[in-house]
Structure 1
Amino acid sequence: MNTAVKERPDRLVLDQTAIDAAASKDLDEGAVTPSYGPWRDDIVKLLNDALATELVCVLRYKRHYFTANGEASPAIADEFLVHANEESAHADKIAERIVQLGGEPDFSPKTLLDRSHAEYDESMDLQAMVRANLVAERIAVETYRQMIALIGDKDPTTRRMLEEILTDEEEHADELRDWLGH
């Protein structure tokens, strides 16, 4: 049970003493209070790996945007660019959250692919591009689902952010599935 909440049979009451103690301790930690406990470093690691994944996805979508050929390519290429920009926005949100948690976002190109859950792709065929992006989106969906389950109530703010990103990733996967066969 969270020490800041006192459960009584007739009502829920906050523990003001615990709130005051958490608020006044380690002020240099900003929003990160002691209730984050031992999980903060693990969450920052998970987020840095997600950041790497999003950055690799941005690069893959950008490459596909610029190299897509074929009859259906203009419309699909335009959507690749939309997806690239949305993945970039995800990366920004994740990096911001890492900083809020007192961590450092890892943008190092040297380790980007090693830390990413998804692969980079150099396909030249439009359908192969769509397929590669669909696989990457499905990887993202599964990765975010697992992260959400792992984090649970340990960090509700991060969990909600990941749930929002997951919604976008599921929409991307549905769009890509619809483009297969065009």
Structure 2
Amino acid sequence: MKSAPQSRDNGAERLQLDQEALKAAAKQLDDGAVTPSYGPWRDDIVKLLNDALATELVCILRYKRHYFTAHGVSSPAIADEFLVHANEESAHADKLAERIVQLGGEPDFSPATLLERSHADYDESSELRDMVRANLIAERVAVESYRQMIALIGDKDPTTRRMLEEILADEEEHADELKDWLDN
């Protein structure tokens, strides 16, 4: 679909829009923002996003459990951080679900398959240090999965890539905070 670059008199290529792609974008209005240039990757991207959604939902549940069950001298401050992380993971889940819909997919919130689709595990630790460790492991898994998704998507869907990069930055911050708690 791309137009061949045209040479300038000095041998440099000209930047030009693909007119055929623009014409194709004016058709199939039921697809909303999804134009034909999304190509064959849209379904794969929706699947990646649904798996990320499952991961975020499992992380919310794990953080909430840890928030309510943390005990000990350091627990109030750490429990508060668990709640902050749970709320941030919830915002990530909302962004992912919204993007899935924008891409013409359906967000999968099914509790029956959450754990098998999630990249991270649920955890029922009762000791505060074990909770922090389990959450750090989950954040590191999330960081790695988002890095891989970003690389896979590349320039196939810049909007999704930017959203994933924003979520990745949050997950890296969570991992750093948890590492600091683990070191104390």
In the superposition, the TM-score normalised over structure 2's length comes to 0.94
What is residue 75 of structure 1 aligned with on the other side?
77
Ranges in structure 2 where 5+ consecutive residues have no aligned partner: none
Choose 7-16 or 153-162, whichever is displaced more.
7-16
Q: Please say if 1:112 is aligned against 2:111.
A: no
Aligned counterparts, 1:86-165, within 5 A? 86-165=88-167
Which consecutive unaligned segments of at least 5 residues does structure 1 have? none
Contact 2:21 / 2:37 at 8 angstroms: preserved in 1? no
Whole-angstrom CA distance in 2 between matches of 1:113 and 1:31: 31
SS in 2 for 1:42: helix
Matched AA of 1:18 = A
Could you say which residue in structure 1 is the equivalent of 2:171? 169
| Contact 2:65/2:124 (8 A) holds in 1 | yes
* Count of aligned positions: 180
| Matched letter for residue 104 of structure 1 | E
| Contact 1:6-1:15 within 8 A present in 2 as well | no
The residue that corresponds to 2:47 in the other structure is: 45
Structure 1 window deviating more from structure 2 (75-84 vs 23-32): it is 23-32
Distance 1:130 1:5, change over 3 A: farther
Partner Cα separation in structure 2 for residue 25 and residue 76 of structure 1:
53
Aligned-pair distance for 1:25? 1.7
> Aligned in 2, Cα 1:26/1:132: closer, same or farther, shift over 3 Å?
same
Report the secondary structure of 1:122's partner residue: coil
Relative to structure 1, the CA distance from residue 127 to residue 22 in structure 2 (aligned partners, 3 Å threshold; closer, same or farther) is: same
Report if the CA contact (8 A) 1:63-1:122 is conserved: yes
**RMSD value over aligned CA atoms?**
1.3
Match of 1:3 in 2: 2
C-alpha distance 74-154 of structure 1, shift in aligned 2 (>3 A) = same
Return the letter of the residue paired with 1:44.
V
> Do residues 16 (structure 1) and 19 (structure 2) align?
yes
Deviation at 1:16, TM superposition (A): 3.4
Q: Secondary structure in 2 aligned to 1:70? A: coil
Provide TM-score, normalisation by structure 1: 0.95
Check conservation: 2:21, 2:36, Cα contact below 8 A: no
**Deviation digits for residues 82-107 of structure 1, max 9, x if unmatched?**
00000000000000000000000000
CA contact (8 A) 2:136 2:175 kept: yes
| Alignment partner, residue 66 of structure 1 | 68
Shift of 1:14: 1.5
The offset of 1:18, in angstroms, is: 2.9
Bigger mean CA offset, 103-112 vs 23-32 = 23-32
